[in-house]
Amino acid sequence: MNGAPITMPTKLGAGVFALALAAFAMLHLQAVHQTILAVPAAIGWAAALYAVRPMVQKEKHSSLYFAFGVMAFLIFFLHETYEFTGKVRYFPLIVGWTGVALSVLDILSLTETRIGHAIHTVFGGKLEEAPGEGRKPMREIACFVAMAMSVVLIWLLGFLIASPLFVFLWMRMWGGKTLRSSLYGGVFTLAFIWVLFEWLLQYELYRGELVLWLMDMIQP
């Protein structure tokens, strides 16, 4: 912590987290049911929160709890995804683990550590804060709501339409980018998703309820 001594709660939480991680790995190697794996995962999640909390300024605790809440949701999402078999779980697993990685970066960026400050700087987190102010949880909640709305778009229009549309709207309305940059972002997203899943993995993405209904109406 920038040369400051590590507190006892951090040491204790880190120790419990390490034990939970070891238990998770051992149970996973024994191919136990996913529900059993949820026990060390939950213990590790709580231990990580207990360990990280002393390293975060009090005015940022609400953002920390929000980040850990998102992490809990992603852990549950991955737990349910592993119940599926075959190619059907490829895309959800990529989304889930990517989300976990981003949540870890978000949590670390809140800490008063060298790595936290580095992440905060590299990913432009300082742009979100006015001088003397911390991160605003309502802004983060709005982002989470927007992501939930993207799920509705995917359900209606499918991944190939909803994903580039969401990126375009996000860049244009939320990010304040130019129309040209937003269009480029949407097109790049479409190309990346199609090449990765439809071409390389040979995995047919979900087409969307509305699209499937229109296809049934058009086809004789």
Residue 4 has pLDDT above 60, yes or no: no
Percent of the chain scored above 90 by pLDDT?
6
- The model's confidence at residue 125, banded by pLDDT at 50, 70 and 90, is very low
pLDDT at 220: 60
- The model's confidence at residue 128, banded by pLDDT at 50, 70 and 90, is very low
Residue 133 has pLDDT above 90, yes or no: no
> Longest C-alpha distance within the chain, in Å?
72
Query: Which pLDDT tens digit goes with each residue over 153-182?
Result: 888 888 888 888 888 887 777 777 788 878
DSSP secondary structure code for residue 134 in this structure: -
- Are 159 and 172 in contact, with CB atoms under 8 Å apart? no
Helix axes 90-110, 34-52, angle to 10 degrees: 20
Closest CA to 161 of 210, 196, 199: 210
The predicted model gives 109-135 an average pLDDT of 65
Torsion of CA 51, 55, 61, 67, to 10 degrees: -60
Question: How far separated are the first and last CA of the chain, in Å rounded?
Answer: 67
pLDDT at 206: 78
116 C-beta neighbours (distance < 10 Å), count: 21
Closest CA to 165 of 146, 143, 148, 187: 187
Whole-angstrom distance, CA of residue 49 vs CA of residue 10 = 9
pLDDT at 19: 94
Whole-angstrom distance, CA of residue 155 vs CA of residue 170 = 18
Higher pLDDT, 71 or 123: 71
Domain boundary assignment for the chain: 1-55, 57-135, 137-220
